[in-house]
Amino acid sequence: MRGQWLREHRTQLRRVMFGVTIAGLFLFIWWSANLYRNRKLTEAIIDERYAAGDQREKGGEAEALEAIEESAQHTGADGTTATERGMDENLDPVLDKDLVVFQGKEYRRNSYVKAILCMGVDRSDNMIGTRAAGEAGQSDGVFLIAQDTARNTLKILMIPRDTMTEITVTDDNNIPIGTEILQLTLAYAYGDGAEGSCQNMVESTRKLLGGLPVDHYIAADTTVIADLNDAVGGVTVTVPTDGMEKLNPAFIKGNKVTLKGKQAESFIRYRDITQDFSALYRMDQQQEYITQYFRAVREKSKTDSRIVINLFDIIQDHMITDMGKELYLKLGVDALKSEQIDFYTVPGFGQTTEVYDIYHADRKALIPILLNLFYREM
């Protein structure tokens, strides 16, 4: 009877499995730029904006924006400013054309490679329903998947949440009132906590990435990390970072540790708070966890025929996407088949202002990465 039931529901189970796989992928990457101090400060800025109405230029926000404007004059080791080095906040939309000419070479978008924006949303409830202005949460983890549907491979571009770009801001009724140069994470906050927030993130990311078209989005909240970790029997990782024994005596660099419960969250989140921009330097931990998590899912599915159902029960209310089942099915297939996932990071530099940390993308270094991921040379 059990075998017959599995045969009859094989297609449904496969869809559930791959939906779960994708949810797990972004649920565990989102911590890459999660700075608690920055999150609280930016939430305060939004609250202040709604309260002040037309007086948005007053108070802490004015100081923050002034610091952001001054950061364009940040002087590097070579004596040039950020603007002179091509690190301004908005990239020229060089990638929004059918034919891209860059450094004397011609490129066209590879139609087989899909750009999928993934967001880990920092809020304490699930993703069901819309939210009032200022209650949408923030996209504390942002990354772009390059899915090669012909070669069945995935590559991931990590985008620091504090990257400065042009975002659409809204009033307290979620009605757009203009655009400003702010941190990318705030694009989600200026929305309804559902499709509206996702679309705002897509548009802001497109501007940041030089007009690169984004094909789809997936957003998930992050309240179920420990449950997902334990549902596959824990995840065994090799500690990649020096100094993690301060968090847990077993977390010595090079040690293999099987993470249980809240240990998974601790492993992913750990950073040395004595260093500026430490959230940018812990990506080795996220990459190690992602790789080993998928290995654990594959192994668990060999002995537990209900693992896919159990995982689906855990995450079904924690995801928003514009992808149809056949699309995330394909994405899940490629994720499970990938023995290795290559990671990239938006290049640039960080700066500490009097209010919070910000990050400036280096467009001269970013465009070649995007051309390599999503285009083909003519």
> pLDDT digit string (tens) for 215-242?
999 888 776 778 889 999 999 999 988 8
Rg (CA), the chain: 21
Pick out the chain residues at pLDDT < 50: 2, 5-6, 9, 13, 15-16, 23, 26-87
Q: Which of 342, 116, 89 is nearest to 208 (CA)?
A: 89
For tokens 């040395």, what's the residue? 272
Q: How much is the pLDDT for 4? A: 52
Q: How much is the pLDDT for 297? A: 82
Cα separations (Å) of 212 from 109, 134, 216, 304? 9, 28, 12, 41
Q: Which of 183, 152, 202, 176 is nearest to 333 (CA)?
A: 152
Rounded CA separation 112/26 (Å): 22
For tokens 């949408």, what's the residue? 136
Q: How much is the pLDDT for 90? A: 63
Q: How much is the pLDDT for 358? A: 84
CATH, domain range 2-71+91-224+305-377: 3.30.420.590
Tokens at 38, concatenated: 């920055």
Whether the predicted model's global pTM rises above the 0.85 cut: no
pLDDT, tens digit, for every residue of 90-128? 667 889 888 999 989 999 999 999 999 998 887 666 666
Rounded CA separation 125/144 (Å): 24
